[in-house]
Amino acid sequence: MKTKIYKNKQEVAEQFSAYFSNLVKDYGTFHVALSGGSTPKLIFDVLADSYGDTIDWSQIHFYWGDERCVSPTDEQSNFKMTQDHLFSKINVPKENIHRVLGENQPMGEAMRYANLLEINLDRVADVPQFDLVLLGMGDDGHTASIFPHEMELWEANDHCVVATHPDSGQKRVSITGTVINKAKEVIFLVTGDAKAEKVKEIHGKLGGYKTYPATFVTPESDKLTWFMDEAAASLL
């Protein structure tokens, strides 16, 4: 894996946005799985403000690595956050936005979304392949919506699964570890000192690192990069 460490969350957002702009330039059709969270929110603001007129958004198809089972107008919706901070500010065709229908029955929606990925993406060994998957990491070491208490979902046979938040009990639809690790490239966006301990354990293979889903993000392409601020990387 590669690590890129920047001063603060804003610099992470700016540097990633520049990286993304260069990555998609002249790429052709590009399929990306987005993440929720405070760092992606900043990134979407930077992309809209600094690259809204220079990136060819018609070539980019947007998906989500996970979504809460709520309506698209709910404040907890990853789609709503992206809509507010990115889509509403750029010229992206509506047909390029492939949201998880969080208002639907969770299991049926996981099956529908898995089928959508099979139709829209190239497949490698029968697994849909994204050009890029963006991931965050929770304080507990979870990523996408695969939590430590449901590690069996990581290698589930289905491309999408229904996960349950360990505290709230909220249902979420998430892509699996198998889909994540088939991507051409995977990028972690991790900021804040609350993440420092898990970052240290995962990167140093220390403590309970084998119980954290984020540990098992090991794309077959070997293209894995952690974009972090100094706070998240402070114990490395």
Q: 106: domain CATH number?
A: 3.40.50.1360
67 within some domain: yes
Instruction: Identify whether 88 is part of a domain.
Output: yes
Angstrom distance (rounded) from CA 21 to CA 43: 12
- Indicate the DSSP class of residue 144: T
Determine the pLDDT at residue 75.
97
pLDDT, residue 8, reads: 98
pTM score, two decimals?
0.98
Please choose, from the candidates 82, 62, 63, the residue with its C-alpha nearest in 3D space to the C-alpha of residue 72: 82
Per-residue pLDDT, 191? 98
Residue 42 in contact with residue 50, Cβ under 8 Å? no
Query: Is residue 235 one of the residues assigned to a domain?
Result: no
- The owner of tokens 């898995």 is 114
Residue 234 lies in a domain: no
pLDDT at 96: 98
Provide DSSP, 83-142: HHHTGGGS---GGGB----TTS-HHHHHHHHHHHHHHHS-EETTEE--SEEEE---TTS-
Tell me how many domains the chain contains. Answer: 1
Per cent of the chain over pLDDT 70 is 100
DSSP annotation of 228: E
Contact 39/139 with Cβ under 8 angstroms? no
Q: Are 194 and 138 in contact (CB under 8 A)?
A: no
Q: Which two structure tokens, joined as six digits, stand for 56?
A: 């060819």
In a domain, 41, yes or no: yes
Residues of the chain with pLDDT under 50: none
Q: How confident is the model at residue 220, as a pLDDT?
A: 98
Is residue 89 in a domain?
Answer: yes
Asked whether residue 73 is domain-assigned, the answer is yes
Which residue is it, tokens 């119980």? 211
Residue 236 domain-assigned (yes or no) = no
Write down the pLDDT at residue 82: 98
How far, in Å, CA of 211 to CA of 226, rounded? 19
Please name which of 83, 91, 99 lies closest in space to residue 33, comparing C-alpha atoms.
99
Domain that holds residue 138: 2-22+30-49+58-229
Q: What is the pLDDT of residue 33?
A: 98
Tens digit of pLDDT for each residue in 125-140? 999 999 999 999 999 9
Tokens 């990853």 identify what position?
78
Q: What pLDDT does 117 receive?
A: 98
Sequence-ordered alpha helix ranges (H) in the chain: 9-24, 38-51, 78-85, 106-120, 177-182, 196-204
Rounded to whole angstroms, the Cα distance separating 186 from 35 reads: 11
